[in-house]
């Protein structure tokens, strides 16, 4: 065997290695995609004028101006407080759900777990509209409560109200991380606690929960990061109440301003980028240190479910009510609003049923175009992104490319780039490079920006499969004289098909619901559903908002159902 390998190694250098231009080309493409929105922002932050203004000069004055901006300290405090409170809500609900659905004998645990995940699949923008339609000042439940008991005891137009909405939308992330950790604990520790006389809840509190702390800490940092870059909830509920956070501050001085202050915009975006980069680094450190908490040995067995006894059905009822109030009811009410001219508990439903909202979607060119554009961006953009991500994964995990570590780092870096920062960065990048005006005003700039944003998401669907395939297959092909490109096409690609289907499905959903990047990049004619939703909301077209949101919910539901039923794809870990 060694002789054959030596001969193959001797022959290989004499051939033209087709993988060299492919690997270097893909590496260059990834680096350009990631650097494109970042370098213009950093450059603009140290200029006293627009970066496309030839007379602009270098300066550090933008940082001083940002610090001296009236109310900016309050903006930072609101941002921190919203991220902190939403993280607390997400971690409480997510951790409790992971223990109840993953480690106890609660009835219907599988179904409850699937329903608990649904806010993760939907856009936070759509979820916000759903909460408004049922718990807002004129929401269905609010009006009903006021008619029965007087003033409603809740308000969505507050830091607490926004934190509740954001926390519910982020709780599935905590649930997934904690569920995996809860199912991997060493059962001997829990059995020892039971033998020592500890009851179910004492064992959970003293043994199970501490062993889950790495997953709780990691998901908490992740949710705090998401809370910092959240745009939809503070834009819909914070702005009317005068509560500004960093993302809405950026939106107001850029996309919503007729004369943006480019220096201030870039400096604020750079500040957000630095904070998020630090938090992503902290996530990697936390994940790297979790081996200190490993309790699963080679002979471990599956932990025995905790028996809830008489509390089984009461806890089931509490979980069902939570899922109903936080997810099913808001989205259901939003869908129902799409089929009515007005929705109130004081008016019989049969009197307000109509298809007018959907007719308006097709009658008004901007709304019809946004739906069409969203499908084009998602169908073709996700396909192109899947090809790119598949190649990146193969280069990183199944090649000897000398810069594969750098490619891997660059491909994962977009985790640290918030959508608002990516949108602003690509706007500057396409404004800086001459001759790209046509792309800047088309949907293809959205395809490029969305691809960069979701490279890490796609890698998460593809990379685990590659790591499970034995490298012996590659070696066998190379021994027979195949080069890297032939091995990739003939052996690895067929094996990757399930992972690529999962990647495409995840990217399609991500592209279809993305809005935070698009609001800084779209132009008349390149609207997508997310930007049309915001425009309709600003104009007070609640019925149109409900109709567009319903289409988005329906498309995502069909996509998830099809991926699971036909391809057997799981869209989460």
Backbone angles phi and psi of 460, in degrees to 5: -65, -25
The pLDDT of residue 182 is 67
Asked if pLDDT for residue 544 goes beyond 90, the answer is yes
Q: What is the DSSP letter of 18?
A: T
Q: How confident is the model at residue 480 (pLDDT cuts 50, 70, 90)?
A: confident
Q: How confident is the model at residue 569 (pLDDT cuts 50, 70, 90)?
A: low
83 close to 75: Cβ distance less than 8 angstroms: no
The pLDDT of residue 495 is 84
The mean pLDDT value for 162-166 works out to 95
* pLDDT, tens digit (0-9, with 9 covering 90-100), for 358-394: 999 999 999 999 999 999 999 999 999 999 999 999 9
474 close to 491: Cβ distance less than 8 angstroms: yes
Q: Which residue has the higher pLDDT, 467 or 327?
A: 327
The pLDDT of residue 7 is 40
The pLDDT of residue 479 is 72
* pLDDT, tens digit (0-9, with 9 covering 90-100), for 125-134: 999 999 999 9
Residue 554 vs residues 53, 174, 460, 520: alpha-carbon distances, Å: 45, 25, 25, 26
* pLDDT, tens digit (0-9, with 9 covering 90-100), for 495-543: 888 889 889 999 999 999 999 999 989 888 899 999 999 999 988 899 9
The mean pLDDT value for 232-247 works out to 94
The pLDDT of residue 167 is 95
Asked if pLDDT for residue 15 goes beyond 60, the answer is no
* pLDDT, tens digit (0-9, with 9 covering 90-100), for 262-304: 889 999 999 999 999 898 888 777 665 444 444 444 444 566 7
Q: How confident is the model at residue 168 (pLDDT cuts 50, 70, 90)?
A: very high
Q: Give per-residue burial for 489-518: e unless 16+ CB within 10 Å, then b.
A: eebbeeebeebbbbbbbbbbbbbbbbbbbb
Instruction: Look over the chain and give the mean of its residue pLDDT values, rounded to a whole number.
Output: 85
The pLDDT of residue 301 is 53
Q: How confident is the model at residue 8 (pLDDT cuts 50, 70, 90)?
A: very low
- Residue ranges and CATH numbers for the domains of the chain are 72-335 (1.10.3720.10)
d(C-alpha 461, C-alpha 570), whole Å: 9
546 close to 338: Cβ distance less than 8 angstroms: yes
The pLDDT of residue 192 is 66
């Amino acid at each position: 065997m060694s002789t054959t390998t030596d001969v193959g190694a001797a022959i290989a250098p004499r051939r033209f290695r087709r993988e060299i231009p492919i690997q270097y080309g893909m590496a260059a493409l990834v680096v350009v995609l990631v650097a494109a929105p970042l370098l213009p922002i950093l450059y603009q932050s140290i200029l006293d004028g627009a970066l496309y203004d030839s007379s602009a000069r270098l300066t550090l004055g933008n940082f001083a101006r940002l610090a001296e901006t009236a109310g900016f300290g309050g903006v930072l405090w609101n941002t921190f407080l919203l991220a902190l409170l939403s993280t607390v809500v997400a971690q409480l609900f997510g951790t409790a759900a992971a223990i109840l659905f993953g480690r106890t004998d609660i009835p219907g645990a599988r179904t409850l777990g699937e329903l608990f995940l649904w806010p993760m699949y939907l856009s936070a923008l759509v979820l916000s509209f759903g909460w408004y339609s049922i718990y807002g000042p004129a929401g269905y439940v609010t009006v009903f409560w006021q008619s029965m008991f007087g003033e409603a005891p809740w308000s969505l137009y507050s830091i607490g109200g926004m934190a509740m909405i954001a926390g519910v939308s982020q709780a599935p992330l905590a649930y997934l991380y904690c569920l995996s950790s809860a199912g991997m604990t060493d059962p001997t520790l829990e059995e020892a606690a039971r033998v020592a006389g500890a009851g179910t809840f004492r064992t959970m509190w003293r043994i199970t929960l501490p062993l889950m702390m790495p997953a709780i800490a990691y998901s908490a940092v992740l949710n705090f990061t998401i809370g910092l870059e959240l745009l939809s909830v503070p834009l819909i509920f914070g702005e009317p109440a005068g509560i500004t956070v960093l993302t809405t501050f950026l939106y107001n001085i850029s996309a919503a301003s007729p004369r943006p202050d480019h220096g201030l915009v870039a400096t604020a975006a750079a500040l957000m980028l630095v904070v998020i980069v630090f938090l992503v680094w902290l996530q990697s450190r936390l994940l790297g240190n979790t081996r200190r908490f490993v309790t699963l040995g080679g002979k471990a067995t599956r932990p025995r479910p905790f028996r809830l006894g008489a509390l089984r059905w009461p806890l089931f009822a509490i979980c069902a009510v939570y899922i109903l109030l936080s997810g099913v009811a808001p989205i259901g009410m939003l869908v129902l609003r799409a089929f009515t001219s007005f929705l109130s508990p004081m008016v019989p439903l049969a009197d307000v049923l109509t298809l007018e909202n959907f007719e308006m979607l097709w009658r008004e060119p901007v709304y019809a175009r946004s739906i069409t554009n969203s499908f084009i961006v998602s169908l073709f953009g996700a396909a192109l992104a899947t090809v790119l991500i598949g190649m990146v994964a193969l280069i990183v995990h199944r090649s000897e490319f000398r810069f594969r570590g750098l490619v891997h780092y660059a491909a994962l870096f977009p985790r640290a780039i918030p959508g608002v920062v990516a949108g602003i960065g690509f706007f500057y990048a396409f404004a800086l490079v001459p001759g790209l005006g046509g792309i800047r005003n088309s949907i293809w700039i959205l395809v490029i920006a969305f691809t960069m944003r979701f490279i890490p998401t796609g890698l998460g669907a593809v990379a685990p499969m590659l790591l499970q395939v034995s490298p012996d297959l590659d070696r066998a092909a190379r021994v027979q004289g195949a080069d890297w490109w032939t091995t990739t096409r003939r052996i690895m690609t067929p094996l990757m098909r399930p992972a690529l289907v999962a990647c495409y499905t995840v990217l399609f959903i991500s592209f279809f619901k993305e809005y935070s990047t698009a609001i800084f990049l779209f132009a008349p004619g390149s609207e997508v559903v997310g930007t049309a939703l915001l425009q309709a909301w600003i104009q007070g077209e609640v019925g149109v908002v409900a109709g567009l949101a319903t289409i988005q919910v329906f498309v995502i539901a069909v996509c998830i159902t099809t991926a699971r039923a036909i391809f057997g794809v799981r869209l989460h870990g």
